[in-house]
Amino acid sequence: MTGKQFSLNEVEALACQVLLTAGASPAAASAVARSIRQAERDGIRSHGLLYLPIYAEHLRCGKVLGLAEPIFSHPKPGSIRVDAGNGFAHTAIDAGWEAFTNAARVCGIAALTLHRSYNCGTLGHHAERLAEGGLIGLCFTHAPASIAPIGGKVPVIGTNPFAIAVPDGAGGALLVIDQSASIIAKSEILLRARKGEPIEPNWALDVEGRPTTVAEEALRGSMLPNGGQKGFGLGLMVEILAAVLSGANLSQDASPFSGTAGGPPGTGQCFIALDPSGFSGAVFDQSLRRLAGSITEQPGARLPGSRRKANRTRIEAEGVLVDAALLARIAA
């Protein structure tokens, strides 16, 4: 047996059932299962069902608390702060979402930060959610340290993604940029390690700071930033917003997102929403359309996020093929 075809409804139902069985509350299981469905829908397999056994393992060992009740506060008109209680980021984001987006519409700009949080899934989906509400979404999340500073060999920051999405004026996102500070997603190195396959020579360093093509050595060493010192600078910016501003653990103090060691990672997120009507108004849409057109009118060029949209259309119709090995890990 090579695998089984699943509809997206079946993907979400399977994920929800596994999470409930592992100890997640109904609200947490529902929110995380929806995130897994969205990842599979967009062809982002690394954040889909592939991550489900890790979520279940972390629920059982206490790295993430499935029954955590997030608590949000509203200390200033444009700031919302959520204590995720070492539970899933998804439910904590939902807890502060209404106050956050309302504040952005009232003030023109607002920020939502989370601390004592966890992996928030595909970051671009949160930015896209803001764009669907007519807001510019700018999102940051950090991760356990895996990237050393240029010239160093001890990891200080994580892969630290950021994402931006802009509204299309019709309830969707015109474009979504979602990228990390590392040259490759850490999940890709984990996947290569699991399969015993080598990694590319420009992806990572070993513990001595030497280039390596061995996935296991890369996981013990440091990933390389995308764009050298510029990539490290972007990752440091994310660290300041998602960890320092939110009051979360620094990446260097967070336990790994893989494995059972270390207890809850206590990481953080920072989401910023801007209401275009509070700035350039109608000019925003006109300028944005012109900007996007200057890209799409060029043969072979495409807007960031267009590949996800194409995957979405196809996978919603066809479903996803889940390989037998992954199904066996999920069943276990």
pLDDT, tens digit (0-9, with 9 covering 90-100), for 87-144:
999 999 999 999 999 999 999 999 999 999 999 999 999 999 999 999 999 999 999 9
Task: Write down the catalytic residue from 10, 57, 132, 188.
Answer: 188
- Is residue 197 a part of any domain in this protein? no
Starting at the earlier edge strand, list the strands of the sheet with 204-205.
211-212, 204-205, 222-223
Assigned domain for 217 exists:
no
60: tokens are: 């059982």
Count of structural domains, the chain = 1
Question: pLDDT by residue (tens digit) across 268-318?
Answer: 999 999 999 999 999 999 999 999 999 999 999 999 999 999 999 999 999
- Check if 46 is active-site: yes
- Tell me, yes or no, whether 167 lies in a domain: yes
Which of 12, 30, 35, 47 is catalytic? The answer is 47
Q: Does the pLDDT value for residue 1 go beyond 80?
A: no
> Residues, the chain, total?
332
Structural domain contains residue 324: yes
C-alpha span between 180 and 162 (Å, rounded): 6
DSSP per residue, 80-91: EEEE-TTS-HHH
Mean pLDDT of 212-231: 93
Are the C-beta atoms of 106 and 117 separated by less than 8 Å?
no
Cα separation, 204 vs 222, whole angstroms:
6
The whole-number pLDDT of residue 82 equals 98
Indicate the pLDDT class of residue 195, thresholds 50, 70 and 90.
confident
Check if 47 is active-site.
Answer: yes
* Bridge partners, residue 204, by sequence: 212, 223
Does residue 298 form part of some domain? no
CATH of the domain at 85: 3.30.1370.60
Residue 213 inside a domain? The answer is: no
Report the C-alpha gap between 217 and 196 in whole angstroms.
12
Q: Is 132 exposed, middle or buried (0-12, 13-18, 19+ CB in 10 A)?
A: middle
Query: Exactly one of 7, 10, 46, 57 is catalytic; which is it?
Result: 46
Among the residues of the chain, which ranges form H helices? 8-22, 26-41, 52-61, 89-107, 123-132, 186-195, 215-220, 229-239, 282-296, 306-318, 324-331
Q: What is the pTM of this model?
A: 0.94
* Rounded Cα–Cα distance for residues 187 and 146 (Å): 12
Question: 94-105 pLDDT, tens per residue?
Answer: 999 999 999 999
Q: What is the DSSP letter of 51?
A: G
| Structural domain that includes position 249 | 3-182+225-280+309-331
Is 292 contained in some domain?
A: no
In a domain, 296, yes or no: no
